[in-house]
Structure 1
Amino acid sequence: MSIKIRGSNAYGHSGWFTVYCRICNRKLKIGTDLVYKCPKCEKKYNAYFCEADARGLKWKCPYCNTELVPVI
């Protein structure tokens, strides 16, 4: 008898791949949307940015002024 996992632990649940833009609080899905992050501030500030805000920031982190990189 196999047990089917349900809820947030289920395979394919988008909660594991969802982040929020640090500036506009837009919900971003990693793999579907174009998401940028700061490699230095990712863990400290949860620094993820949407494409529009990354362009407005000229692809520089507002906290440490390093180059933003796309999330793969």
Structure 2
Amino acid sequence: MSTLRTVGAVTVDACATLVRGVAFWATIPLPVLIASTLVTGFVASSPRSVVALVALNVVCAVVGRNHSPAL
């Protein structure tokens, strides 16, 4: 039973690291995407989508804040 808990803990840790990494790297291009919606006028036709992108950027920034990319 102890081995199963260890495997579970390692799996959860690996998944958390993956989610943090994806969130960290997604935070980088999202502002460019948001700015392009403002420039192209997409915000006028679909403001909820732009608000959702901004919210996604904030969530990604919070979730990915403790990620340290390996060099």
Higher relative CO (Cα under 8 Å, sequence separation at least 6) belongs to 2
Structure with more strand by fraction = 1
Same fold (TM over 0.5): no
CA radius of gyration, larger in: 2
Structure with more helix by fraction = 2
TM-score by length of 1: 0.33
